[in-house]
Each structure stands twice: as C-alpha cells, then as structure tokens.
Amino acid sequence: MGAVYFYHLTQKPLQATLPVLLDKAHAAGWRIAVRGADEGRLGWLDDLLWMGADDSFLAHGMAGGPHDALQPILLTTGVAANAPHCVMSVDGASVTPKEVQELERVCILFDGTDADAVQHARGQWKTLTTAGCEAQYWSEESGRWEKKAESKAE
C-alpha cells in the first residue's frame, strides 16, 4: 500500500521542483507518470524537461507515442501506459484512493500562491485520507522541505 505526499509550492515554482522530484523517483528505480489537467501545460513541461539543467537529463515522453509503455517518465492527462510506480499530479489533476493504494507513491504538487489550487489540494487531502490513504503534507515555507502533517491509514 502506497502513500500520497502533498507538496505545497511556495518558494520554488513547479518547473524547479518537479525535475528534482522526478530525478529522485527515477533514481529509486521507479517508472513515473506526470499527470496534468491540460495538454498544453504538459507540452510546456515536456519542453522544460528536455532542456533541463546542463548536467542533467530526464528521459521521458508525452502520452500518445508508439513507445508509451517503455517510457521511464510519461506525461499524460489520463491513466499512464508505462505501468508507473509513482504518479505525480500537477495543476489539480485527479488521483483516486485506489491509485494511492496500488502505487508506491503519489505526489500532488500544488501552487501555494494560487488560492484555488490550495483549496483543491485540501479537498484532495480530505477525500484521500477519508478513504484510508496514508498522506503526508510537505511545505517549503521555511526555505527547505519540512513535513508539517501526516495521516496514517487505519
């Protein structure tokens, strides 16, 4: 049974935080799906991940290609064809309690400067923890990531 980690982005934007989390998940040997709510925004993330830092490279693909099942990181708006160990939800993309329970990890990244995004994440926390999912809330408010809350499965 997995867990869901909520990342409240207040100091660094998604484009700075997501590559770091993807790198860590990939280093753990996991296949990852980045689930977004908008194809255009995923296209922007796709471009960002291809550019990357000078000393890094994150092999990935956009859903809908001929090799989706082989992608170590797949950007998608739906269910991922790469049999992920981890789903990273961005921009309010939905995640189900069943996914949290079946995957190693689900990460929900949300913009702390967007009141609607914060409210949506609170709703996701309530839905997932009420369904019995283990959850952690991480904040970078102090300038470094700190675990601020945790809900254990019963």
Is the overall model pTM greater than 0.75, yes or no? yes
Question: What Å distances lie between residue 123 and 7, 16, 119, 154, CA to CA?
Answer: 14, 25, 6, 20
Torsion region of 4: left, alpha or beta (phi above 0 gives left; psi -120 to 50 gives alpha):
beta
Assign 8 to helix, strand or coil. Answer: strand
H/E run at residue 108: strand 105-111
Give dist(CA 153, CA 60) in Å, integer. Answer: 32
**Per-residue pLDDT tens digits of the chain, which is 154 residues long:** 789 999 999 999 999 999 999 999 999 999 999 999 999 999 999 888 887 655 567 788 899 988 999 999 999 999 999 999 999 999 999 999 999 999 999 999 999 999 999 999 999 999 999 999 999 999 998 889 999 999 997 6
